[in-house]
Structure 1
Amino acid sequence: MSAPNPLPTYVYKILPSAPPKPLPDVLPLSDLDANDGFIHLSTASQVPGTCGRFFADATELWLLKIRLQTLENGTGEVRWEAAGNSGVFAHLYGGKFGAEEVDESLKV
């Protein structure tokens, strides 16, 4: 499947607990990201569905707001891939992100 058109300005990394303060230069991979070989990201419109599907038991979540262009200009490769019937999601392969790439950390 192809990337959304137009591309979103931001993508989000969902965390089940607060990120470290201050944010490190490189955030550690989640177990899921390490096992899958890429970093799972969601667009703003995908965040509610992703939270409901994978984090339904969480009482709080954290969203890391990341400018997509920052990731695309980095060391990794952003691929837009289908995830079942849920649509096309951004996956970051071979890249990393941390304090420099995260524009905002939001508790939800």
Structure 2
Amino acid sequence: MSDMPLTAYKVLTAEQMATLETEESFAGAPVDLADGYIHLSTAEQLTETVDKHFAGQSDLHVAAVDLGSFGAGLKWEESRGGQLFPHLYGGPLLLETVIAYGPLERDADGTVKLPVAG
């Protein structure tokens, strides 16, 4: 699995982003809490995730997460169309594992832009 990306992305509502900033941790969205893990997406999966699960929503944010900081809590599991998605088990998403975040923006072709650190 060494070819797996080291960074994944979490889409957050403005309220969820504020929680992550102020409490320095985020227990998960309702779907995460229901499923028992925090759903993350790779860069390649991010736009489809937003289009499928956040259609019509505004004021969204994207957090880039350092997957190297999760150890055994991170599992790659098959989901949509057989793709492997990174899932975080056993705890909240901590602000200290977030390497960049910002408002969700799209390129001209509709692709979700990745947040840039700094």
Give the TM bin, normalised by the shorter chain.
0.7 to 0.9
Counterpart in the other structure of 2:116? none
Partner residue, 1:9: 6
Larger helix share, 1 or 2: 2
Q: What RMSD in Å do the two structures reach over aligned CA positions?
A: 1.9
Task: State percent identity of aligned pairs.
Answer: 28
Runs of 4+ in 1 over 4 A off after TM superposition: none
TM-score normalized by the length of structure 1? 0.82
1:46 match: secondary structure:
helix
> 1:48-100: CA deviations, max 9, x gaps?
0000100111123211111110122xxx6111111131511001111222221
Which structure exhibits the higher relative contact order, with contacts defined as CA atoms closer than 8 Å and separated by 6 or more residues?
A: 1
The count of residues paired between Structure 1 and Structure 2 equals 102
- Relative to structure 2, which stretch is displaced further, 39-48 or 87-96? 87-96
Task: Give the SS at the match of 2:9.
Answer: strand
1:13-50 C-alpha deviation (Å, 9 max, x unpaired): 11132511734232132110000000000001100000
- Once the two structures are superposed, the pairs formed by residues 1-108 of structure 1 within 5 Å of their partners are 3=1, 6-17=3-14, 19-20=17-18, 22-72=21-71, 77-85=73-81, 87-108=83-104
- TM-score, normalised on structure 2? 0.76
Q: Structure 2: any 5+ residue segments left out of the alignment?
A: 105-118
Instruction: Please report how far the alpha carbon of residue 103 of structure 1 lies from its aligned counterpart in structure 2 after TM superposition.
Output: 1.1
**Aligned pair in 2 of structure 1 residues 23, 7: CA closer, same or farther (>3 Å)?**
farther
